[in-house]
Structure 1
Amino acid sequence: MYRILLNPGAIDEGSPADDEMVSISASELDALRAAAERAKTIAEANDRAAERALANDRLRDEEIARWSKKAEDWERAFKTATKEKELATVLAGRPLVQGAASQLIKLWREELEVIDDAGQIRVATRDGRPVSEAVNAWLTSAEYAHFSRPSSRGGTTPPGDSRSTATAPAAPPPKNLGEAVLLRWREALQGNRQDPDAPIGLGRRRF
């Protein structure tokens, strides 16, 4: 038999009284110890399970954050491409100088927004105007007027325009002395504004 204090913390000095102790058999004491050990084992298992649950929650939160960022990046890329396509379509019919369209797309795409209207995607300016209307207004403003080709009555084309008149290709160098003499002869005739194919004696000098 074993005697166990009911309240060990209450005894400071001296021997405890009999009413403060309880008698217990060895088998009961072993059972109590086994129960305490099982309780300890269960508590430790619960702690490990809680740690695993926290780790899983952390991994799940990180995965959700990663996919959320990907979704945001995809949405941003989609909206940028949609705005650039809308601007390119509108600018395609405008008389612009060479290289102006790409510059204007970069300048104006941030002035637009992509709107999901009941499942229908459309593009408009931040103040709600259609893109074509806004582009017309921007191109006629003093700030962006230089991107448009000036109207010309004399048939000239601004420098850098893809439709500028191409200069004639340079003549190949003479291959021999005879070709060199002929070339100099033709240059002399052109300097005197004479027809090199005209007969000698009709406005043509003999060399």
Structure 2
Amino acid sequence: MQRRAVATVLVVLGVTWGGATASAQDSDARIARLKRSFDCTDVPSASAFVCSLKDGMVGSAVRKRIEPVVTSTGAIFLRSVYRDRDWIYHDHVEIRIGDEVLRTATVLPTSPNMSRRDVQRTGSNVNRRRNGRNQRDDFVDERVSYRGADEGAIVKAIAEAGPAPVNMQLAGGPRTFEKTLSDDEKRLFAEAYELAGLLRARGATRE
């Protein structure tokens, strides 16, 4: 009788362990698949990685977007990118989802979360003057990271927007930039939000 009880317990434990292992494997496979949707950069000194949106057309200087950024710990935050010929000096983002308007905190120019730089490119990929010499190709690059809890809620709102239109505005400077997020961009927000949740859950089970 005692032997049968022990055997029953072992069978139950075996099923539980096997299920947990299978679940962990499924989670790891899903994480690996989701990471392929993004540009994930290793941080060797910390044995970590950071994932953000892949760049569009190779060689193009123009980037005007908002993007989710996910770290290997499962942290997720919002980043705005404006790269073109002229500055707009934006310091916050306004998002409209249907009738709802969401706004990030304003980031000061002196903040480490604010990056503004003037970039010069020369080489075979830039325009050439008629005399055959390389023409310098200058563009500006503005990047602002929004790391607060409210900004995390904005990422969540975009991820869960479904078919509702999502409009963004880079604001705060003398000029603004507006666009409507494409279905692909909204899908990537949803995938980033899922990826962050899976990474947090995996980290919790390994502590």
TM surpasses 0.5: no
Larger Rg: 1
TM-score (norm 1): 0.31
TM-score (norm 2): 0.31
The answer to which structure has the higher strand fraction is: 2
Larger RCO (CA under 8 A, 6+ residues apart): 2
The answer to which structure has the higher helix fraction is: 1
